[in-house]
Amino acid sequence: MNLTVRILLSMAAGVVVGLLVQSGGFAPEHWLRAGFVDGLLDAGGSIFIRSLQLMVVPLVLVSLICGASSLGSHGNMGRVGLKTIGLYLLTTAIAITIALLLALVVAPGESAGAANIVLAEFTPKEPTSIKDTLVNVFPKNPVAAMASGNMLQVIVFALLFGVALSRTGEAGARVAASFNDLNEVMMKLITMLIQLAPIGVFCLMAEMFSNVGWQEIYKLLAYFLTVLAALLIHAAIVYPSLLTLLGRVNPLVFYKKMREPMLVAFSTSSSGATLPVTLRTVEKRVGVKNEVAAFAVPLGATINMDGTAIMQGVATVFIAQFYMIDLTMGDYLMVILTATMASIGTAGVPGVGLIMLSMVLTQVGLPVEGIMLIIGIDRLLDMMRTAVNIAGDGAVSTIVARSENDLDMDVFNDPEAGRVIEK
């Protein structure tokens, strides 16, 4: 049985087990909750997420140093960088526009007043200024950047190091060869650890579904469904169109290959933790060469969050409608701009998209407390938007690679390419 099928089956089993536990209505101290859900399942899920996270920093460092050293020697790094960042911004702006339009048509906030929603606790985050955000991209201590997992700083260091390697002649070539070997080892490590996915996914899903607040979702059903519909439109229409028109590749093949990272993203709700799986898939299964993938995928996992931007767009309209505040055309443009910025600033970890929403709301003068309305149902939406976030990273990497002649079409068209073979 292949890995995707096993992940899907364990995901389904996790949902069933979770729902069974939930329907039992056990007290928190009952052994099924305290021992099984909060003990065993929680531990299993956490170990899986940690085993993915452990690879992120070394992988990005090694893989991007290899990528940058070969890009550096061709001299097309600037072009690849501009295209990638440009496409990331463009797809995010499209995502949020879809979200705003759909939310305006559906008007999920107009009927929500009567729903008797329980307000949750929420402490807004102090927004960082644009200047500080920019300065913080540049590391002053690469070891500190790696130790704290500051991805943008690690990316900048790896890029500089890789370019320097490509300009250091023989010594550089020797070091680059070692990094290429190390990269192979890292890929092997991912292949080994991804085999834990069925168990990890089972634990995460069972834990999640034993705690979903169906009541809350029901009360906010219009909001929930609007976000879901916008995510679907973006994933099923926007990416396929871009892949077909700009990338000249078959989007169905692309999605088939991206299933594993999308499922992992769905169950972990973290683009960051999924990054090793995304990178491996984009290189070995989709066929994007390392020099593009090593740059585009980690950058995407850090700054490209289309699914998050969609949630923020719908949430903004929802909150405005709930508080009966009219937004002007200028406000909407502001929302597009700030939500795109906020999605860049959102770290790829669970739930941060909602925290960054405060930045968007403040910009257009909406009450930040509005976030408390939707916090209760964000967990499930987070899973779905994270899957869209990483699909976007894969799609943009593929399109950029294709335009640079860095997409191996033999790998792309081979259904077996890069498949994880269980040992």
Binding pattern to ligand ASP, positions 277-316, x when CB under 6 A?
----------------------------x--x--------
* Residue 142 vs 376, nearer CB to ligand ASP: 376
153 binds ligand ASP (CB under 6 A): no
Tell me the Ramachandran region of residue 322: left when phi exceeds 0, alpha when psi lies from -120 to 50, beta otherwise. Answer: alpha
Q: Which stretch binds ligand ASP (CB under 6 A): 55-63, 197-205, 327-335, 381-389?
A: 381-389
Contact of 394 with 286, CB cutoff 8 Å? yes
* Residue 351 vs 376, nearer CB to ligand ASP: 351
Q: Give just the sign of the alpha carbon dihedral 349, 354, 358, 359.
A: positive
Q: Which stretch binds ligand ASP (CB under 6 A): 2-10, 120-128, 168-176, 342-350?
A: 342-350
271 binds ligand ASP (CB under 6 A): yes
**Torsion of Cα atoms, 235 then 239 then 241 then 247, to 10°:** -150
340 binds ligand ASP (CB under 6 A): no
Distance CA 232, CA 384 (A): 10
Q: Which stretch binds ligand ASP (CB under 6 A): 56-64, 70-78, 267-275, 403-411?
A: 267-275
386 binds ligand ASP (CB under 6 A): yes
Assign 3-state DSSP to the chain and report helix, strand, coil percentages, each to 5: 80, 0, 20
Distance CA 314, CA 322 (A): 12
Distance CA 313, CA 266 (A): 20
420 binds ligand ASP (CB under 6 A): no
Q: Which stretch binds ligand ASP (CB under 6 A): 10-18, 157-165, 277-285, 345-353?
A: 345-353
358 binds ligand ASP (CB under 6 A): no
Reduced to 3 states (helix: H, G, I; strand: E, B; else coil), residue 118 is coil
Say which residue the tokens 């995901």 belong to.
Answer: 11
Q: Which stretch binds ligand ASP (CB under 6 A): 21-29, 98-106, 226-234, 266-274?
A: 266-274
Contact of 95 with 306, CB cutoff 8 Å? yes
Number of chain positions touching ligand ASP (CB under 6 A): 16
348 binds ligand ASP (CB under 6 A): yes
In this structure, how many other beta carbons lie within 10 angstroms of the beta carbon of residue 78? 9
| Interface with ligand ASP (CB under 6 A) | 269-271, 305, 308, 346, 348-353, 382, 385-386, 389
